[in-house]
Structure 1
Amino acid sequence: MNSTFKIYSAINELPASWDQVTESNVFLQTPYLKVLEESAPTNMQCFYIGIFEDNNLIGVALAQYLNVHKLESFGERDKCFKTAIRNFVFKNFASHVLFLGNNMITGQNGYVFNKPMDFKHISNLLIQCSEAIIKYFKEKGIKIHIVSFKDFYQHCSDELKKYDFANMHDFNIQPNMIFELQPEWKSETDYVAAFSKKYRDQYKRSHKKCEGVEVKELCYEEILSHEERIYELYHYVAKNAPFNTFFLAKDHFSTFKKQLQEDLRVSGYFLDGKLVGFHTILLNGETLETYFLGYDEHVQKEKMLYLNMLYNMTKFGIENGFKKIIFGRTALEIKSSIGAQPVLMSGFIYHTNKLINKHIDKIFKRLEPNVDWQQRHPFK
């Protein structure tokens, strides 16, 4: 099969049929891509790839270049020698990173085709695209250090490994926490009734703790008026993550709401009239995607805000007929306590320096933040 591809760096250059090809994934449609274009992290540049057959658009892919040099912090939670080493390595040997896929979210959101494609062809196309972008940066005097392809569900990863990805280091970092909602749950009451006593008690206790906190869905104008505070709450959580490769732009949430309107919901948590937390969810077909959130550290501890946010997102998913909720990669244990299950996702990585690449598996293991956690089983 003869396919060609074209790489675009601006949304207004995209082919007219782009959104027809990407209708199955909101993260590859132009409203979301416009959000990336208008308010991507300051150290990120996006590329939009059109894949053609006989001049017809049949697939699209997303690539992101990250300049790690521009990052204020890689994550400040783990103050230790390993973190210092990791920061040194990233600054000097991994500061120019190319992702094929979306580094800002968890899930297989890197490419989509409107017709069946064999994995041999997909692997070949993805590698050709990455090489074209590496060449583009080389001509600008920038050497890409690391190329990473992310995220793939296990069966896709196994297939890709049979072809052009065979010589690349494949890695599994923390699993994606996915909650498959039961079709018989029609309300939050049905969901809570399915818990064993221990987890029903957890639910009641957390709700009691959260008394006095008002939860309110924010419209575009309210997001704008609370923008500084929303960013402050987001930034606190992001900075305290074990590892970071980007920070969102300050106007990210208002830009997102303006572009996606009803497909993005932002809920504010208010205590005595003051915004003390927020969560965001994205409606993606039959899947509810959790996006970024933020909270005031002191209120979170006292009011169990984070756990209540997880319950609230689940309630929204159930009441609005979603089939599953993607909760992403952080806070695995607490997410499993509300019903989410770990799903392994793989990525592929290589270093453009052959000597470093020979040892990439050992290096990667040392740099990767370790996470020990215990899976909870909340249902009867």
Structure 2
Amino acid sequence: MLDSYSFQIYASISELPKTWDVVAMDNIFLQTHYLEVLENSAPTNMQCFYIGIFEASKLIGVALAQYLDLNKLESFGERDRCMKTYVRNFIFKNFASHVLFLGNNMITGQNGYAFSKTIDFKCISDLLLNCAQTITTYFKQQQIKIHIVSFKDFYQHCSNELKQYGFETIYEFKTQPNMIFELPEKWQSNDDYIGAFSKKYRDQYKRAHKKADGLDIKELSFNEIMVLEERIYELYHFVAKNAPFNTFFLAQNHFSEFKLHCGERFKLVGYFHEGKLVGFHSLLLNGDTLETYFLGYDEQIQKEKMLYLNMLYNMTQFGIENRFKKIIFGRTALEIKSSIGAEPIMMSGFIYHTNKWINRLMPKLFPQLEPSLTWQQRHPFK
């Protein structure tokens, strides 16, 4: 296979081949203006690698890899304080702190690679495994031992294909589903969306909408994001550190860098109460897909104004009115996202430990490390 294809790994955007964005044209998360955001404002414990895949001398594929040093993390997540959490944190610190991801650990979805031509899954499998090995060797030369290698977020048909080849012996894991809202083409306006709810969920919408009285909601310009950056980060950080599990925290300049490099394709919407920023949500326009990105809020106002639920409704309204085909809502708050119309789509990842003895225990160990979750799927439409 690698007789036909070769790959090159780059540590900086400035080194990328000129045709990179032509190959990555269908996915903003692999295009250079997004990669520049990562390069200029990646989490402090993350290092990115950009992979060019060639047929002869022609670039035909691009991919992303991320190295995470979990020793530099202030917190793995503070919401769940129990013995299982303490055990998990101990294991991560001592046996799993150097992690290599093939894919993008900052977002949910199959955004790890793109090709400009059809490539069979045997080739994709071999390329991903070879890239992982090459980067692991690079770190070994720096006296850094990679503990864990993870290949992130494949839709089911892709993971089934990869398992036919080199991924057959690698532990496949399924975490929380990706919540995706496929928007019916017949919905032309927000009224069509509200009209599709059953009475219970239409009442929920009205109640949330009424609670939001007194909030001033507006999209922020680059200059406004710059002025409010510290407050935006404070609101983001509150939500992030109260998540059940974290492997990174964004840099404080992340949102302004995003707006600077992605312009109109990145939207940050602020929620103001009595002139003070009390929440925000962000969106990325990715072709006909609307990607929800990070958000933040003031805990007190969130409870009082049903802020999070109103954000979900507002993001959905934006998606409908701007004729997106679907909205990717990601992996958190599954039940409330299902109550506004998103549905769970299972995704797989693959993971191995570089210590062969620990790796043999992966089927037993991994389920113990994943935060447990029970939730009830809601069905809001008539």
Normalised by the shorter chain, which TM-score bucket? over 0.9
1:54: Cα distance to partner? 1.2
Q: Pick from 320, 324, 327 the counterpart of residue 326 of structure 2.
A: 324
The aligned amino acid for 1:306 is Y
Q: Are 2:250 and 1:235 equivalent residues in the alignment? A: no
1:43-70 deviation line (CA, Å, top 9, x unaligned): 0000000000010000001000000000
Partners of 1:220 and 1:371 in 2: CA distance: 38
The root-mean-square deviation of aligned C-alpha atoms, in Å, is 0.4
2:352 to 335, 338, 350: 350
Structure 1 counterpart of 2:378: 376
Return the alpha-carbon distance in structure 1 between the equivalents of residues 55 and 357 of structure 2: 38
Which residue pairs with 2:212 in the alignment?
Answer: 210
Q: The residue matched to 1:226 in structure 2 has which SS?
A: helix
Task: For residue 169 of structure 2, give the secondary structure of its aligned residue in structure 1.
Answer: coil
Inter-partner Cα distance in structure 2 for 1:35 and 1:24: 18
- Deviation readout 1:156-192 (Å, 9 max, x if unpaired): 0000001000000000000000000000101000000
Q: Name the SS of the counterpart of 2:235 in structure 1.
A: helix
Please report how far the alpha carbon of residue 361 of structure 1 lies from its aligned counterpart in structure 2 after TM superposition. Answer: 1.4
SS in 1 for 2:316: helix
Alpha-carbon distance, 1:113 to partner: 0.3
Instruction: Return the letter of the residue paired with 1:26.
Output: I
| CA distance in 2 between partners of 1:158 and 1:302 (Å) | 45
Which residue, 200, 203, 217 being the options, matches 1:201?
Answer: 203
Alignment length (residue pairs)? 380
* AA of the residue aligned to 1:291: Y
- The residue that corresponds to 1:108 in the other structure is 110
In structure 2, C-alpha distance between the alignment counterparts of 1:361 and 1:31, rounded to whole Å: 38
Counterpart Cα distance in 2 of 1:232 and 1:364 = 32
Structure 2: segments with no counterpart, 5+ residues: none
**Matched residues in 2 for 1:365 and 1:54: separation?**
42
Q: Offset at 1:275?
A: 0.2
- Give a deviation string over 1:256-296, Cα, whole Å, max 9, x none: 10000000000000000000000000000000000000000
Alignment correspondent of 1:335: 337
CA distances 1:182-206 after superposition (whole Å, capped 9, x unpaired)? 0010100000000000000000000
Partners in 2 of 1:377 and 1:21 — Cα distance? 39
For 1:59, what is the secondary structure of its paired residue? strand
Determine the structure 1 residue equivalent to 2:295. Answer: 293
C-alpha separation between the residues in 2 aligned to 1:170 and 1:187? 41
Which residue of the partner structure matches residue 8 of structure 2?
A: 6
In 2, Cα distance between the equivalents of 1:220 and 1:38?
A: 16
| 2:232 is the alignment partner of 1:225 | no
Shift of 1:8: 0.1
CA drift at 1:373: 0.3
* Aligned-partner Cα distance in 2 for 1:54–1:347: 30
Q: Which amino acid is the alignment partner of residue 141 of structure 1?
A: Q
Distance 2:88 2:212 in 1: 38
- 1:332-367, Cα deviation, whole Å (9 max, x unpaired): 000000000000000000000000000011111001
1:83 maps to which residue?
Answer: 85
- Alpha-carbon distance between aligned partners in 2 of 1:163 and 1:88, rounded to the nearest angstrom: 34
Pair 1:263 & 2:279 matched:
no
Q: What amino acid is the match of 2:322? A: N
Matched, 1:169 2:167: no
Tell me the secondary structure at the aligned position of residue 175 of structure 2: coil
| Pairwise CA distance, 1:12 | 0.6
| 1:159 and 2:154 aligned | no
- In the alignment, which residue of structure 1 is the partner of 2:28? 26
Instruction: State percent identity of aligned pairs.
Output: 71
- The AA in structure 1 aligned to 2:186 is E
Match of 2:38 in 1: 36
- Give the distance between the partners of 1:161 and 1:54, measured in 2 at CA: 27
Structure 2: distance between partners of 1:361 and 1:370: 16
Q: CA deviation at 1:146?
A: 0.1
* Partner residue of 1:145 out of 147, 166, 178: 147
1:137 aligned partner, one-letter code: F
Scaled by the length of structure 1, the TM-score of the pair is 1.00
